[in-house]
Amino acid sequence: MRCFIFLLSLFILNACQIKPEELNISSDGVWKQLGYGKILEIKGDTIKEYDICKVGCNLYEEGLLADIGKIDFFNKYSLTLRKNIKTYKYIRLNKLPEICLKNVNNPMHDFEVLWNTFNEQYCYFEERNVNWNEAYKTYKPQIKDKTTELELYVIMNKMLSSLNDGHVSLDVPRKIKEASRALQLKDEKEQTKSKEEIIDPYYLGVQAQNNIAEKYCEEYKIHNGGIAKWGMMKNKMAYVQINAMFFLAFYDLPKDLTLEQLAPYYQEIGNKRTYQRQDEIDGADQLMEMILTDLKDANALILDLRFNIGGKDEAALAITGSFIENEIKIATKKAKLENDFTNHQNIFLSPNKPSFLKNVYILTSHETASAAELAVMSTLKNKRVKRIGSNTEGIFSDGLDKRLPNGWEYTLSNEVYQDLDGNNYEGKGISPHIDLNYPKDKRAFFNLLLQQISSGKDEAIEKAISLENEK
């Protein structure tokens, strides 16, 4: 009997090791993603991806399988795709759902698809204090058979704006955006605006970024039009300013361009790259190697993320990976799945070389968003790190990309990130150790920093210097 059990165990072990291709099982076919409202049709190395909800299904994109991830595992019933630190699970369907074969495109259907997709996938109605059923009652009656594209956009945009979520967006053709903006300007025509209110906040932010680096660095270097700046300060502290977790790749581009001038060239190259996301991650690795080599003699480091609007999570973790010696678990994430959630995924931070294992002061504001917030979250258990500034924005979920039947693209938040203590910071942001009560309004915040620099002192940097001097 023991011999039989032993032989049976060997058979089971060997069977478990048989690869799908050896059983004539192919990854080709139709797969339903768990938690994201997506249908994936695989044929060889190409895919068709569909957006699906209760009332509709339409093609999102066609392309290469490599663009959306690498197959980590599959069998007759399930498939797992891995994209860097992220894992997505699918179940096999016998065929493409019938609803995906229908071609419906009218204003009412577009509205129904948008509302239902949010109803099924969006995580944060309660946190954002929005009654989505009431939104339906408010906005659906405004949609008619002859509703124009501009009218539809205005109605949808108002409904989505009520969520006040930086990862919720609706992207429409330029002519519709311009027409909508013209309507807005017409409504504002009678309002008197000061000279400061006319200046685009983006340029105020750029001016603040430059003024801070010029004020505190003896001399500084820049990468990709100023997306990153770094240099030594007079007191043997280092200053590093990283303003996004993208535009980090090292492409062969002119060195003397501003970020605004460089962006079109960068995007043109990126659009042609199959693995552009990896370019950003490799860029972050290479950038931190350059920065920490230049700043190797620093006694402490200030990492300024006050202007960082986010980007690629993996790029963010490549930066904070320089502040640890060993791999650590930093967070979990899960996605909405009907009335529950998918199983959570663990997120780990791996050490990067060269490392910086001295005191780090991270500066944050309400502009610190998305992937930049994950960077901050990854340091919560690091005793060498102090946070100074204000709460981050509070938009951790990846933006789930979707497309309406009429072709308009939109994004929503369908994931929950939690720290190791189970805290969810969506809508609240991560608080600093030292709160400087920065304004939430972007223009007011940038103007405050410009005023502080003009008077000779950036309060956050001065506080970091003071804390380091007390060591």
Check residue 18 and give its pLDDT. 47
Average confidence (pLDDT) per 10 residues, the chain, 471 residues: 44 46 81 97 97 97 92 96 92 97 92 98 96 98 94 97 96 94 70 60 96 97 97 96 97 92 95 86 97 98 98 96 98 94 95 96 98 98 98 96 98 97 96 98 97 96 96 77
3-state helix, strand, coil in the chain (%, to 5): 40, 25, 35
CB neighbours of 306 closer than 8 A, spacing ≥ 6? 363, 364, 365, 367, 368, 389, 438, 449, 460
Report yes or no: 219 and 203 within 8 Å, Cβ to Cβ. no
Buried b (16+ CB within 10 A) or exposed e, 302-326: bbbbbbbbbbbbbbbbbbbbbbbee
How far is it, in rounded angstroms, from Cα 375 to Cα 419? 12
Distances (CA, A) of 295 to 220, 265, 286: 11, 30, 14
Q: Which residue spans within 22-77 are E strands per DSSP?
A: 29-33, 38-43, 46-53, 56-64, 70-74
Q: Which domains does the chain have, with CATH numbers?
A: 23-101 (2.30.29), 107-195 (no CATH), 201-394+429-469 (3.90.226.10)
From the CB of residue 232, how many other CB atoms can be counted at a distance below 10 Å? 18
How far is it, in rounded angstroms, from Cα 254 to Cα 250? 11
Report yes or no: 374 and 313 within 8 Å, Cβ to Cβ. yes
Check residue 236 and give its pLDDT. 95
How far is it, in rounded angstroms, from Cα 435 to Cα 301? 19
In the numeric block, the tokens 């000279």 are attached to: 195
SS3 of 95-127 = CCCHHHHCCCCCHHHHHHHHHHHHHHHCCCCCC
Q: What are phi and psi of 31, to 5 degrees?
A: -130, 140
In the numeric block, the tokens 């008077």 are attached to: 455
Please choose, from the candidates 127, 163, 208, the residue with its C-alpha nearest in 3D space to the C-alpha of residue 410: 163
Check residue 99 and give its pLDDT. 96
Check residue 365 and give its pLDDT. 98
* pTM for this model (two decimals): 0.89
